[in-house]
Structure 1
Amino acid sequence: MQDSYCEIQLPFASSPEFLENYTNASGGIRTGLLMEHLDSLAGSIAYKHMLGPDVSKLPKDAGFYIVTASVDRLDMLTSLYPVRDMRLDGQVIHTGKSSMEIAVRMEAVGKDGTEKTVMLGRFCMVCRDARTHQATPVNPLVLETPEDQTLFNLGEVHRRRRATRAGKSLSRVPPSSSEAEALHSLYLKYGDEQRASTADIERVFMGDTRLEKTMIMFPQERNVHQKIFGGYLMRLAYELGFANSCLFTRDHVTFLSLDGISFARPVPIGSLLRLTSNIVHSASSEQYPALVHVWVHADVVDLDTGTEQRTNDFRFTWCKETGPPLKRMVVPKTYGEAMQWIEGRRALEMGSEIRQLRKRA
C-alpha cells in the first residue's frame, strides 16, 4: 500500500504569498480549491499504483487511462480556522478487478510539528484500456502488515455498502415505511396552504430553491485525457451549492460533508456546461441549528438541439454551528422531488451516524 503513497504540501501559514491564492471572502481557505487538489491527488495515487512507485511522469503509450468513477464521501472533521500549513496525502487501500479505492486525508500541521486531521475522504478510480475504453485489470495489492489488512477489509466493507446502497436506490425500490411516514407528515404539516400559513416555520417549495450557472468549458481546465478536469467540476459545484445554502438559510454556512459524487461521462473542452442546484432537505439538530443538503447536477448542452446530457451529480451538506434553529423548511411538490427529499434525509442520517461513530471512537 505504501508504494502508492502521495502527498501535497500547502504552506498556508508559512507563506503569505501562497495563502493569497486560496483566501476566501471570510479570510479562511477556499474549500472548493482543496477538493480540486484532493481529486488531483487521488489521480496521482492511482497512476502511481499502476506504474510503480518510481514513476516521475506519465508515459504517452501506457495503454490505459484512469478516471474518477465516484467520490464516496469527504467529511470535514474540524474547522480550517485558524489558518495553518496543510498536508494532503493518501494511498490505495483496496483494489477490485479494474477499480481502486483511494483514501485521502487533509492534515493541519502546527508550528510545533503537531498534526491534526481536518478532512477524510474516499475516491473510487477505475482503469480503462486506451484503445477499447473497456475495463482493464489493475495491479492487486500486496498486504504486508496487519494495518494493511485492516485498511483492505475497510475497503471491502465500503464496496459491499456501495452495492447495498445501489440496491436500495429510490430509482429501483420504493421508500421504506418510515420514510413514507415522514414524507406524509411533512405533507400534512406544510403541503396544505392553510396549515402551512399557521406553522411557525416558513415553507419553501423545492422548485423555488433552484439556482444555476452556465459556463463554457475552456482548455485551461483540461486533464491529461484532454477532457475537463473532474476536480475543477467539483469546485464549481461546491461553490454553487454553497451560494444556494447561504441564500436558503439567509446566513453564512459551514461545509460539513460531501455525501457523494457520480461521474457519468466526461465533459468535453469547448462544451456548454449547465450546473443546477436545489436544496433537497433541511433540518435542525441538537448539534447544528441548521442542516442543509444540496443536490447539484451538471449537464452538457447540445447547442444544435438544445438537449442536455447529464455528466455529474454532486451532493453536499452544509450547516450552521451556532445561532437559533432554522426557521425555513424545504417542501417537495412532485413525486420526483419527494424522492430527492428522502435521498437528502438519508444523507443527513448517514452523516449523523458517521459523526457519532467517530465521537465514540
Structure 2
Amino acid sequence: MMDSYSELVLPFGTQKDLLEQYINASGGLRVGKLMEHLDSLAGSISYKHVLGPGVHMFGTMQERGFFIVTAACPKNNSLGRLDMLLPLFRHNVRDLRLSGHVIHTGKSSMEVVVKIELLGGKEETVLLGRFSMVCRDAFTQKARPVPQLKLSTPEEQALFDMGAAHKERRGVLALRSLDRVPPSTEEVGELHQLYLNYGENSKRNYHTERVWMEDTSLENCILMFPQERNVHSKIFGGYLMRLAYELGFTAATLFSHRHVRFLSLDGLSFSHPVPIGSILRLRSKVALTAVSEKYPALVHTIVEANVVDVATGKELTTNEFRFTWCDDDGEPLARRVVPRTYQDAMECIEAKRAVDMGDEIRRIRELKAKLID
C-alpha cells in the first residue's frame, strides 16, 4: 500500500513569495487552489500504483497503453469527498504537507485517500478526503485491470476494508437516488413542513426572510485554454474543481450576507471530459440552509458545469460539485432558502442527505479522536 505514497510540501513558513500566491482576502488560504493540488496528487498516486514506485516518467499514453481518469459516474453518485477538520491558519503561518496513497483496488478502479497536514510544532491533519480513479486502455477506451494491493499489516487491511465500504456505499446511494426512486416518507414530511412554514401563502416565521432557490443562482462562463490541459489533452479536473469552489463560495457568501468557511466537498460527479477551446458555463445555487449542534449556520451549494455547443447553443453537463459552508461563531441565518418547483424540492432533499452524511462523518471522527486521547 505504501508503494503508492506521494507527498507535496508547501513551505509557507519560510517562503513568503509562495504564501502570497495562496493567501485569500481574509488572511486564510485559497482552499480551491489546494483542492486543485489534491486532485493532481490523486492522479499521480494512481499512476505510481500502476507503474510501480521505481518509475518516474510517464511518457505518452500510446507508449504506456493506458491512462487514468477520475471515474465516470452519473449525477448524485459521488466520486470524491473532502472534509475540513480544522480551519487553515490566518495568523500562525505554518508549512503544509499534502499526501496520500491507494487504499483499495477493484478490477480497474482505485480508491485514493488524501490529506493535508500542518507541519512545524504539533503535526495536525486539517483536511481529509478521497478520490475514485479508474484505469482505461489507451486504444480501446475500455476498463483496464490494475495491480491488486498486497496487504501487509492489520492497519492496511482496515484501510482496504474502508475503501471497500466506500465503494459499497456509493452503490447503495445510487439506488436511493431521487432520479430513480421517490423520497422517503420522512423526507416528504419534512418537505411539507417546509411548505407550511415558508410556502408562498404562509404567515409563519415572519422573522425569517424567505428566498426562493431559483433566486440564488449565479453564473460564470469561461473559455477553456490549453494551459489548463491534463496528459489526455482535456481540461484538468482540479482546475474545474477550483472554479466550482470559488463560484460556490461566492453564492454562499452573497446569500448569507457574511463570510463563510469551507466545511466539506460532499459530492463530485463526472460525466464527460471538457475539451480545450470549449466554453464552460458554471451555474451555482443555494440548495439548503440549516443549523447543527456545532454550527449555527450551514449553507449547501450546488455547482453544475456545462459545456456549451457554440453552433447550436445546446449544453452538455460534465460535472456537478456539492459544497457545504459554515459559520463557526455567528448567529443563525436570518434567511431561509425555499424550493419553489418540484425539481428544486428534490435538490433540497439531496442537499439535506449530503449535509446529514457530513454531520455523521464528523461525529464518528470526533468520537474516534476522543477514544484515542
Q: TM-score range by the shorter chain?
A: over 0.9
Root-mean-square deviation (CA), in Å?
A: 1.0
**Which range moved further: 14-23 or 39-48?**
14-23
Where do residues 254-333 of structure 1 align in structure 2 (5 Å cutoff)? 254-333=261-340
Residue ranges of structure 1 left out of the alignment (5+ in a row): none
The partner residue of 1:104 within 85, 95, 114 is 114
Q: Secondary structure at 2:192's aligned position in 1?
A: helix
**Per-residue CA distance 1:269-316 (angstroms, 9 max, x = gap):** 000000000000101223212100000000000000000000000000
* 2:177 is aligned with 1:164: no
Counterpart AA for 2:80: D
Out of 299-308 and 281-290, give the one that drifted further: 281-290
Kindly state the Cα deviation for residue 13 of structure 1 after the two structures are TM-superposed. 1.4
How many angstroms apart in 1 are the aligned matches of 2:130 and 2:52? Answer: 21
Partner residue in 2 for 1:30: 30
Query: What is residue 2 of structure 1 aligned with on the other side?
Result: 2
The 5-angstrom pairing of residues 222-241 of structure 1 reads: 222-241=229-248
Residues 220-267 of structure 1 show CA distances to partners (whole Å, capped at 9, x for unaligned) of 101111100000000000000000000010000000000010111110
- After superposition, the Cα gap between the structure-2 partners of 1:201 and 1:153, relative to the gap in structure 1 and judged at 3 Å, is same
Q: Deviation at 1:9?
A: 0.6
Give distance in 1, aligned partners of 2:133 and 2:260. Answer: 30
Give the TM-score, by structure 2 length. Answer: 0.94
Q: CA deviation at 1:360?
A: 1.0
Please give the alpha-carbon distance, in whole angstroms, between the structure 2 residues aligned to 1:71 and 1:105.
16
Q: Is the 8 A contact 1:35 1:234 kept in 2?
A: yes
CA apart distance, 1:83: 2.7
Give structure 1 regions of 4+ aligned residues with deviation exceeding 3 angstroms: none
| Structure 1 segment 174-253 matched on structure 2, within 5 A | 174-195=182-203, 199-253=206-260
After alignment, is 238-247 or 78-87 more displaced? 78-87
* Amino acid in the other structure paired with 2:69: V
Measure how far apart 1:14 and its partner are. Answer: 1.6
* Alignment check: 8 A CA contact 1:101 1:155 kept: yes
Q: In 1, distance between residues paired with 2:80 and 2:131?
A: 6
Question: How far does residue 200 in structure 1 lie from its aligned partner after superposition?
Answer: 1.7
- The 5 A counterparts of 1:56-71 are 56-60=56-60, 61-69=63-71, 71=79
Q: Distance in 2 between matches of 1:83 and 1:331?
A: 40
Provide the rounded CA distance (Å) in 2 between the counterparts of 1:199 and 1:170: 31
Q: Tell me the residue number matched to 2:75.
A: none
Q: Distance in 2 between matches of 1:135 and 1:115?
A: 39
Q: CA separation in 2, counterparts of 1:192 and 1:227?
A: 45
Residue in 2 that maps onto 1:91: 101
**What is the CA-CA distance between 1:194 and the residue it aligns to?**
4.4
Give yes or no for the alignment of 1:40 onto 2:40.
yes
Equivalent pair of 1:71/1:262 in contact (CA under 8 Å): yes
Q: Is the 8 A contact 2:83 2:264 kept in 1?
A: yes
**Equivalent residue letter for 1:14:** T
CA–CA separation in structure 2 for the residues paired with 1:72 and 1:16: 32
Please say if residues 29 and 83 of structure 1, whose CA atoms lie closer than 8 Å, have aligned partners that are also in contact: no
Alpha-carbon distance in structure 1 between the residues aligned to 2:188 and 2:143: 39
Q: Distance in 2 between matches of 1:131 and 1:265?
A: 18
Which residues in structure 2 correspond to 1:114-153 (within 5 Å)? Answer: 114-153=122-161
TM-score by length of 1: 0.97
Shift of 1:193: 3.0
Q: Residues of 2 paired with 1:285 and 1:47: CA distance? A: 40
2:333 is paired with a residue whose SS is coil
Q: 1:146, CA displacement in angstroms?
A: 1.0
Q: How many residue pairs were aligned?
A: 358
1:352 and 1:57 map into 2 onto residues whose CA distance is: 41
Question: Structure 1, residues 8-35: CA drift from partner, whole Å, max 9, x if none?
Answer: 0101112101101111111211000000
Contact 2:38 2:98 in 1 (8 A): yes
Question: How far, CA to CA, are the matches of 2:202 and 2:263 in structure 1?
Answer: 35
- Letter matched to residue 38 of structure 2: L
Q: Which amino acid aligns with 1:209?
A: T
Partner secondary structure for residue 200 of structure 1:
coil
**Distance in 2 (alpha carbons) for counterparts of 1:102 and 1:279:** 29
Distance 2:269 2:202 in 1: 40
1:323 deviates by 1.6
Question: CA separation in 2, counterparts of 1:40 and 1:156?
Answer: 23
Is 2:196–2:202's contact at 8 Å kept on the other side of the alignment?
A: no
Residue 358 of structure 2 corresponds to residue 351 of structure 1? yes
Q: 2:21 is matched with which residue?
A: 21
After superposing the two structures, state which structure 1 stretch, 283-292 or 253-262, moved more: 283-292
Alignment correspondent of 1:76? 84
